[in-house]
Amino acid sequence: MTLVGSRLELTIGPVAHGGHCVARTEEGQVVFVRHSLPGERVVAEVTSETAKFLRADCVEVLAASPDRVEAPCPYAGPGRCGGCDFQHVSVAAQRDLLGAVVADQLRRLAGVEVAVDVEAVPGAADGLGWRTRVRYRATPDGRLGLRKHRSHEVVPVDRCLIAAPGLADVTEHRWPGTASVEAVVSGTGERLVVVEPSGRRRPALPGIEVDGAVTDSGERLGGRTWVTERAVGRDWRVTGAGFWQVHPAAAETLADAVLEAVRPQPGEHALDLYSGVGLFSAALAEAVGPEGRVVAVEGAERAVKDARRNLRDLPQVRIVGGPVRRSLPTVESPCDVVVLDPPRTGARAEVVSRIAALGPRAVAYVACDPAALARDVATFAAHGYRLRSLRAFQLFPMTHHVECVATLAPSS
DSSP, collapsed to helix, strand or coil, labels residue 199 as: coil
pLDDT digits (tens, 9 = 90+) for 75-87: 999 999 999 999 9
**What per-residue confidence (pLDDT) applies to 331?**
86
Q: Which residues are catalytic?
A: 368
Residue 166 inside a domain? The answer is yes
Residue 217 lies in a domain: yes
Of 392, 390, 399, nearest to 94 by C-alpha is 399
Compute how many other C-beta atoms are within 10 angstroms of the C-beta atom of residue 50. Answer: 8
257 and 221 in one domain? no
In a domain, 107, yes or no: no
Claim to verify: residue 216 and residue 267 sit in the same structural domain: no
Residues contacting residue 24 through CB under 8 Å, at least 6 positions apart? 10, 13, 30, 31
Residue that is last in its domain, among 198, 229, 260: 229
Q: What is the CATH number of the domain that holds 17?
A: 2.40.50.140
Please tell me whether residues 267 and 406 are part of one structural domain: yes
Q: How far apart are CA 259 and CA 268, in angstroms?
A: 13
Q: What is the pLDDT of residues 47-68, one digit of tens each?
A: 999 999 999 999 999 999 999 9
Question: Which residue, 68, 91, 110, sits at the end of a domain?
Answer: 68
* Same-domain pairing of 398 and 282: yes
Does residue 332 have a pLDDT over 80? no
> Does 203 or 392 have the greater pLDDT score?
392
Please tell me whether residues 48 and 148 are part of one structural domain.
no
Report CA torsion sign: 168, 171, 176, 180: positive
Please tell me whether residues 351 and 399 are part of one structural domain: yes
Task: Tell me what pLDDT residue 50 has.
Answer: 96
Dump pLDDT digits (tens) for 123-164. 989 999 999 999 999 999 999 999 999 999 999 999 999 999
Write out the residue range of the structural domain in which residue 394 sits: 246-410
The whole-angstrom separation of Cα 315 and Cα 294 is 9
Please report whether residue 272 resides in a domain: yes
* pTM recorded for the entire structure: 0.97
Residue 305 pLDDT class (50, 70, 90 cuts): very high
Question: What is the pLDDT, as a whole number, of residue 201?
Answer: 86
More confident residue, 124 or 353: 353
- The reported pLDDT for the residue numbered 290 is 97
**CATH number of the domain to which 395 belongs:** 3.40.50.150
Q: Could you give the number of structural domains in the chain?
A: 3
In this predicted structure, what is the pLDDT of residue 181?
98
The length of the chain, given as a count of residues: 412
Query: Which of 17, 43, 68 lies at the terminal end of a domain, its last residue?
Result: 68
| Residue 129 CB contacts under 8 Å (≥ 6 apart), including other chains | 161, 162, 163, 164, 165
Nearest by Cα to 360 from 325, 332, 322, 379: 332
Q: State residue 184's pLDDT score.
A: 98
Q: Which amino acid is at 15?
A: V
pLDDT range class, residue 412, cuts 50, 70, 90: confident
Sign of CA dihedral 172, 175, 179, 181: negative
- C-alpha dist (Å) from residue 348 to 337, 342, 368, 379: 19, 9, 14, 8
| Inside any domain, residue 300 | yes
Please give the single-letter amino acid code of residue 40.
E
**Phi, psi (degrees; rounded to nearest 5) at 378:** -60, -40
